[in-house]
Structure 1
């Protein structure tokens, strides 16, 4: 890949690989592979993927979380969610080098659907690293940094803002504020980057780099985006940070995104 995350043919390269996992996190990856294979048999699990800083080789011990996507053979059930939750909790307890575990559950039919071609499909093909089972990326196209990709990947920030405002109102603990600031920070930076992604002509998932690239096109908002990148990595308990993300930067970004790329195709 070149410095813009593109392969020689101009398509977005896969950003992670198992051989990029640093030594501190190898035991975590080995444990999650074993646990998934034990809990989810082949009748339930089609394939499993890592994503985020661990397979990119940029994770920080004690700060980074472990992110997983499971492609199920069927629509997720309550039993699937309970088993995934138990795995999340046990791994988080067992490994101090990770700060939280998140497991996404999606059916392989949805991941390969036409509706998700430029969202969940792109996510699997370019942002996820195969861990178990057949790789769904082999059934997906190569992607380029286009406005269509931006439109479908992050064109629904307004909906996220509605959820965040409701969660902010009910947040009572430092843990609540940390979780929300990490979530809102990451999503805001991702959206800011994909807003400018077609103009820049490449892809990155690095939060700091994303904020700086965004600032080339929107210098008046770059300081706020830098704060979003910071709390995306190291969450904050400061209510003012969440207020900035949810009530100032977020609404402006959602409106600008819609003006440039349009709204994401509605999901059922």
Structure 2
């Protein structure tokens, strides 16, 4: 059985931008308007621009189940106080809008995003995976992206750094919430890394975790069961640590070794 034809591309073969404010489900509209209003009040003139990413701007979010994913770009490097303000705003929005189940407001410095190596990671994230919410769109200053080995290396070629942190987090998890949050994070990342391992061969882009799993399994059928476990862990996380141990002991090390051999390790600016 052949893999489905590449998707997620513009006519010239570059990766198309996901999401649009027109795709935001109506149930989330008041939340998004509140975010658009509060971010400039929180960061003032230091705010360059803000973006949505994830299921809400893709139109796939489920009220009371999905989380809010947002990015704020600042003219200056974010400080610990800035991150505290972002966390406080997220908590305020989460309490005020039952349409979401948590979320995160990421902070980045515009200069960092525009650096050449970072532009193959954070720049790709802004230009292709983020939907402009307010302020000038930084994507106008970023290159067009194609599903290449360079993009694969710079987006997910750092499992060698991430894996020890996950293992430490698992030993430190004390509550069911801790375990469920970690399970979701690990499952999502492993599915996305599995997809970008095969992305240059497939020649397209997707953020659909189910399609990503199918594409990976087409190229690496011997790892299908473990990758489907990662998908279940990403989409239906539980506090049971057993799947996490299996993913961290079996799939993640294989994926890190294979990824490094195929695309190399991520370079840092």
Q: Where has structure 1 moved over 3 Å in runs of 4 or more?
A: none
1:175 is aligned, of 164, 177, 184, to 177
* SS, match of residue 130 in structure 1: strand
Aligned to 1:132: 134
Aligned to 1:99: 101
Aligned to 2:124: 122
Q: Structure 1, residues 182-203: CA drift from partner, whole Å, max 9, x if none?
A: 1101111110000000000000
* SS, match of residue 118 in structure 2: coil
**Is the contact between residue 91 and residue 101 of structure 1 (CA under 8 Å) also seen in structure 2?**
no
Q: Return 5+ residue gaps in structure 1 as ranges.
A: none
**Is the contact between residue 47 and residue 133 of structure 1 (CA under 8 Å) also seen in structure 2?**
yes
Aligned to 2:14: 11
* SS, match of residue 107 in structure 2: strand
* SS, match of residue 40 in structure 1: helix
RMSD: 1.2
Deviation at 1:230, TM superposition (A): 2.4
Counterparts of 2:251 and 2:6 in 1: how far apart (Å)? 28
* SS, match of residue 41 in structure 1: helix
Aligned to 1:20: 23
Question: 1:148–1:3: structure 2 CA closer, same or farther, 3 Å change rule?
Answer: closer
Deviation at 1:3, TM superposition (A): 5.8
Question: Aligned pair 1:258/2:260, yes or no?
Answer: yes
Aligned to 1:30: 33
Counterparts of 1:65 and 1:110 in 2: how far apart (Å)? 26
2:77 is aligned, of 75, 78, 92, to 75
* SS, match of residue 98 in structure 1: coil
Q: Return 5+ residue gaps in structure 2 as ranges.
A: none
Q: Structure 1, residues 124-162: CA drift from partner, whole Å, max 9, x if none?
A: 000000011000000011100011110111000121111
TM-score, structure 1 normalization: 0.96
Aligned to 2:153: 151
